[in-house]
């Protein structure tokens, strides 16, 4: 339903991001799937 309405939460669902206003900059791992390996991150 939210998706059809095109409301904010519908858009979040479509992008598969958290819907309830969590921080996505650092943590949205559950929704986005496993973290992609970042080159040069290991040291």
Q: What is the pLDDT of residue 36?
A: 64
CB 17 within 8 A of CB 25: no
- CATH number for the domain harbouring residue 15: 4.10.910.10
Q: Are 13 and 3 in contact (CB under 8 A)?
A: yes
Question: Can you read off the two tokens belonging to residue 5?
Answer: 């309405």
**Structural domain count of the chain:** 1
- By percentage, how much of the chain surpasses pLDDT 90? 0
What local confidence, expressed as pLDDT, does residue 8 receive? 57
In a domain, 41, yes or no: no
**What is the average per-residue pLDDT within 2-28?**
56
Determine, yes or no, domain membership for 14: yes
Global pTM? 0.23
Which band of pLDDT confidence, cut at 50, 70 and 90, is reported for residue 19?
low
Tokens 């095109």: give the residue. 6
User: If you average pLDDT over residues 3-19, what whole number do you get?
Assistant: 58
């Amino acid at each position: 339903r939210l998706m059809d309405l095109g409301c904010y939460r519908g858009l979040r669902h479509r992008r598969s991001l958290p819907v309830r206003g969590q921080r996505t900059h650092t943590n949205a791992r559950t929704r986005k799937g496993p973290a992609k390996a970042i080159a040069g991150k290991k040291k």
